[in-house]
Amino acid sequence: MSAPNLIVAAAPHLKDRDTTPRIMWTVAASLVPVLLTSMFFFGVSAFLVVLAATFGALLTEKWLGRPRSLRDGSAMITGLLLGLSLPPGIPMWMAFLGGFFGIAFGKAIWGGLGQNGFNPALIGRAFLQTAFPVAITTWPKAGGDFFALKGDLFAFPFMSAAPHAVTSATPLGLFKFEKQLTPIVDLVLGTTGGSTGETSAVVILLCGAFLAWKGYLNWRSPVSIFVSVFVVGYLLHFINPGRAPDGFFQLFSGGLMLGAVYMATDMVTVPTTNKGRWIFGSAVGALVVIIRVYGGLPEGVMYAILIMNAFTPLINRVTHPTVFGTVKLKEAK
């Protein structure tokens, strides 16, 4: 027998086939149906906004990230999610800038993948919300010609005049400022005004279910958010029906689905323990409803998740399971 060249390594010698890039690219791929649905409602504008945001995120990752970090696919997810959380009529340069800001200040300066405390896509969006409050709350109407631009998409940076598009308020805005309730069927199907990817609950839930089945998404955070939003929503509704809409409306309106399924499940910025995920999700759900009902803004998903991101290390610390064989020790003492 000829002597083969042997590898010598420490145990274990086997490895599960899932890798970080595989998880990240699968999550990114699962956002494609969401984008397609969005294009169905908002036409080519949705695609252009997501493209600009993704381009911004990827270029920044290439520029500021660690060598070859583009391959792990995480910047792709950030770009897609940011694009999907913006209104489809926002100028492309703003979306691009959001992608840059999200990666540069939400991820790269912390040390890249795995080191950031806050969701990079939401950091990018929060920046845009502060910097361009008008553009990011200008919601074009769904439907119409596929190739008709929904806003001043190709506006030159810092030069844009007032938006020209036909706008409509989001269901949450309608309720908050005009006390108008949008029918639940429209919310579920997504035929309402809103952000690029904030519209069809059904598609997002299906994509989330696929990821959960693959084991790439921990179902505990989204489920606890749903339950919490529903319960807290109805609680406030019964206290003050004029001010707070019912739980179903809360559940299917705004960015809740996208946030719960894709942003509150970002492995890096949510707790690692299952118990922690329940706590995280419940708190996010409660915060969302509270911000929506009592806050100045009609939507609260972004800030709710960002606030709870800050609590992730603490939640991790207090929810760590008891080490095997130490329960009895404590009793004995």
Partner 1 sequence: MAFFGFQHGVHPPEEKGLTSGLPIRRMPYPDEIILPLRQHAGKPATLCVKVGDYVERGDPVGHADGYMSVPIHASAAGTVSAIDLWPHPDGSYAQAVHIKVDKYALQAARPRLVPQWEGLSTEQVVKAVQNAGVVGLGGAAFPTHVKLAPPKDYAVHTLIINGAECEPYLTSDHRTMVEYPERVHFGCRVMMHTLGVAKAVIGVEKNKPDAIEALERTKPKDLDITILPMTVKYPQGAEKMLIHAVTGVEVPSGKLPVSVGVVVQNVGSLAAIAEVFDTGLPLLERIVTVTGHGLKRPANLIVPVGTKMKDLLAYCDGVTPDAAEVIIGGPMMGQSLANLDAPVIKGTTGVVVLTTDQVRGEQVYPCIHCGRCLEACPVFLNPSWLGDLARIKRYDEMAENHLADCMLCGSCSYVCPSNIPLSQLFQASKVALRRQQQAGAA
DSSP label at 140?
B
Query: How many residues sit in the footprint of partner 1 (CB under 8 A)?
Result: 45
Angle in degrees, 0-180, between the axes of helices 92-106 and 44-64, rounded to the nearest 10: 30
Which of residues 167, 205, 272, 303 is near partner 1 by CB under 8 A?
A: 272
Question: Residue 140: what are its φ and ψ, rounded to 5°?
Answer: -70, 160
DSSP label at 182?
P
Q: Applying CB under 8 A, which part among 6-14, 51-59, 75-83, 250-258 lies near partner 1?
A: 6-14
What is the Cα–Cα distance from 112 to 98, expressed in whole angstroms?
17
Three-class SS of residue 179?
coil
Distances (CA, A) of 226 to 18, 217, 283: 28, 15, 11
Of the candidates 192, 194, 175, 173, which has an alpha carbon nearest to the alpha carbon of residue 298?
A: 173
Residue among 23 and 236 whose Cβ is closer to partner 1: 23
Residue among 2 and 130 whose Cβ is closer to partner 1: 2
Which of residues 50, 57, 72, 82 is near partner 1 by CB under 8 A?
A: 72
Of the candidates 291, 222, 298, 215, which has an alpha carbon nearest to the alpha carbon of residue 259?
A: 222
15 interacts with partner 1 by CB under 8 A = yes
Mark 86-115 with x for binding to partner 1 (rule: CB under 8 A) and - for no binding. --------------------------xxxx
Mark 301-330 with x for binding to partner 1 (rule: CB under 8 A) and - for no binding. -------------------xxxxxxxxxx-
Least distance between partner 1 and beta carbon 302 (Å) = 21
Q: Which residues are at the interface with partner 1 (CB under 8 A)?
A: 1-4, 6-16, 18-23, 72, 74, 112-115, 218, 267-268, 271-274, 320-329, 332
